[in-house]
């Protein structure tokens, strides 16, 4: 069942919420002293599973679970529809997009800085088919407030990318820092980065590298048959996968790693330690 439809059909006691923070950490336990297991972006709809004090366990659209502070969310009432589930939606296309309380970059500081892929509801009168030459788009933030963002930072109705376009996109993130549990342009971890690239091809893939390699949406291929867009998995063995990246052709792959310098970078598959650590190659079905 579609995640938004399932969310809408939930009873009020198990209703969902929308992320209001630019990027909300998900923890392994209801404490900021616990490790960060993933993140959810502003505008993401999540299902609420369990509450403990000021914390709630959530499930994201990729079926990942973790604990999140309630302050990062706006809980839905029984009559609310999921955020950005109807009407025009603006999705951040720049690596970062500033959101202002009025259509001016000089009068006040930005109220939010949002990462790539954050989603915003477009308010009537500023849809892409009206005022096409207008610089600004008026949006309703997930917390209910209205604000403005620059049209050049967002796109409407994004289409799935080809492999070539996905590789072009991946290069825009070169130098973005490594962040354990990260899923945004503020910082990715290896599987969060690869998952985002696959998502831009229109495919929702599991969150963690070992689950990605075992996922039924991919099939094994031999190293000698690699082609651009294939996924690479590294580790001690096929049962102990700890890293992933995307093959971009000519013996190279792009990944987010702490090796050498932390961040998104392009490496050669023939170099150490990668050639020794490669344990699985996968192609999307």
Active site residues: 190, 243, 255
**Structure tokens given for 81:** 């529809």
Q: Are 22 and 44 in contact (CB under 8 A)?
A: no
Task: Report the alpha-carbon distance of residue 249 to residue 253 in Å, rounded.
Answer: 7
Q: Is 9 exposed, middle or buried (0-12, 13-18, 19+ CB in 10 A)?
A: exposed
Region of residue 214 (phi > 0: left; psi between -120 and 50: alpha; otherwise: beta): alpha
Contact of 138 with 121, CB cutoff 8 Å: no
What are the phi and psi torsion angles at 229 (to 5°)?
100, -15
Handedness of CA 68, 73, 75, 76 (dihedral sign): negative
Residue whose tokens read 């980065």: 193
Residue 235's H or E segment, with its range, is strand 231-237
Q: How far apart are CA 250 and CA 257, in angstroms?
A: 20
- Omega before 238 within 30 of 0, i.e. cis: no
Helix (H, G, I), strand (E, B) or coil at 232: strand
């Amino acid at each position: 069942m579609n995640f938004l439809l399932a969310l809408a059909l939930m009873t009020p006691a198990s209703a969902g919420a929308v992320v209001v923070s630019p990027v909300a950490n998900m923890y392994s336990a209801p404490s900021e002293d616990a490790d960060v297991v993933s993140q959810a972006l502003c505008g993401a709809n999540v299902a609420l599973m369990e509450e403990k004090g000021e914390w709630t366990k959530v499930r994201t659209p990729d079926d990942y679970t973790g604990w999140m502070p309630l302050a990062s969310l706006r809980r839905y009432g029984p009559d609310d529809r999921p955020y950005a589930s109807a009407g025009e939606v603006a999705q951040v296309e720049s690596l970062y997009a500033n959101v202002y309380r009025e259509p001016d970059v000089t009068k006040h500081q930005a109220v939010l800085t949002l990462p790539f892929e954050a989603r915003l509801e477009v308010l009537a009168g500023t849809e892409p088919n009206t005022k096409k030459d207008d610089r600004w788009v008026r949006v309703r933030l997930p917390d209910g407030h209205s604000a403005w963002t620059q049209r050049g930072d967002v796109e409407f109705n994004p289409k799935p990318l080809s492999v070539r376009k996905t590789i072009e996109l991946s290069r825009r993130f070169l130098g973005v820092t490594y962040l354990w549990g990260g899923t945004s342009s503020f910082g990715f971890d290896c599987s969060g980065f690869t998952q985002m690239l696959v998502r831009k091809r229109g495919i929702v893939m599991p969150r963690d590298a070992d689950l990605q390699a075992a996922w039924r949406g991919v099939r094994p291929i031999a190293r000698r048959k690699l082609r651009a867009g294939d996924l690479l998995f590294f580790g001690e063995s096929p049962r102990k996968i700890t890293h992933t990246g995307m093959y971009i052709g000519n013996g190279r792959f792009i990944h987010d790693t702490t090796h050498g310098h932390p961040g998104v970078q392009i490496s050669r598959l023939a170099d150490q330690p990668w050639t020794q650590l490669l344990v699985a190659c996968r192609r999307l079905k």
